[in-house]
Amino acid sequence: MAASSASRHRHLGLPDAVRVCLFDLDGVLTQTAKVHAAAWKQMFDEFLRQGAARTGQPLVPFDPVADYDEYVDGKPRYDGVRSFLAARHIHLPEGTPDDPPSAATVHGLGNRKNELVLRLIHDQGVEAYGGSVRYVHAARDAGMRTAVVSSSANCRDVLRAAGIEELFDARIDAIVANREHLRGKPAPDTFLAGARALGVGPDASSVFEDALAGVEAGRAGHFAYVVGVDRVGQADALRAHGADVVVRDLDELL
């Protein structure tokens, strides 16, 4: 490899083999993870409150840090619903994706969460992390191709709202995953699809993730480098799940 090319890789904090960068959206590129956590909490607390009133059991609300990180962060929406309900030993019918947000089904709760997050995004707008945007620009200036790999069905709308859609050569989101029957994180399928979309394999790709499930997906897919982004003080957990390096913001790598 030419010295100038190796120098560019060192400037990005990446191994020489890396040719493309695969970025998670919420919590890595945009400050929407907290919006998702708020929507999950509101949806689950409403559901749990109804259950407590019906059974007379004490209400144990959804923890927007511990429960969010453990059960829903980075996962496809309905998988997050299933994961949290299983942790609380609550069994609901699956329903269908067309269930109304009021339905007491896995899909109904997921649709209610999506309704809430869209309202929050509409009311509050979307802000990108400045350090991440600087890093993406530096990666593209160094000749890297870039993709967004997100579990969200609202990925394109969020990218547009944040004004960063044009920084990415490909987008693998929940819409693509459903169409191509890709398993969600922590399975590596969506990241592998992102690498394919950019014409390389995992051995030439770096994954950038803030979610434990996403970091686990990067490791499971045998990607060349997995960068954990610690927004909530879980650096040790990110490393334990497979991150090669952990930073608080991506421009620390520059």
Contacts 24+ apart (CB under 8 A), 45-54: 46/112, 47/104, 47/109, 48/88, 51/90
> Domains of the chain by range and CATH?
3-31+127-253 (3.40.50.1000), 34-124 (no CATH)
> Catalytic positions, please?
24, 26
Tell me the C-alpha distance between 182 and 193, whole Å: 8
Positive or negative, the CA dihedral 246, 247, 250, 253 is: negative
For residue 2, pLDDT over 50 is answered with no
Q: Which amino acid is at 63?
A: D
Provide the pLDDT for residue 3.
45
Provide the pLDDT for residue 6.
65
> What value does the mean pLDDT take over residues 236-248?
97
| 3-class DSSP state of 64 | coil
Lowest mean pLDDT, pick from 10-14, 109-113, 238-242: 10-14
Which of 218, 238, 191, 208 minimizes the C-alpha distance to 13? 208
Provide the pLDDT for residue 44.
98
Q: How confident is the model at residue 7 (pLDDT cuts 50, 70, 90)?
A: low
Average pLDDT score, the chain: 94
Tell me the C-alpha distance between 110 and 102, whole Å: 10
For residue 1, pLDDT over 70 is answered with no
Q: Pick the more confident residue, 161 or 171.
A: 171
| 170-172 and 20-23 strand pairing | unpaired
70 within 8 A of 216, measured Cβ to Cβ: no
H/E element holding 247? strand 245-247
> What value does the mean pLDDT take over residues 193-210?
98
Tens of pLDDT along 174-188?
999 999 999 999 999
What pTM was estimated for this model as a whole?
A: 0.83
Q: Which amino acid is at 169?
A: D
For residue 105, pLDDT over 80 is answered with yes
**DSSP assignment of 122-174, as one string?**
HHH---B-HHHHHHHHHHHHTT-EEEEE-S-TTHHHHHHHHT-GGG-SEEE-H
Provide the pLDDT for residue 185.
94
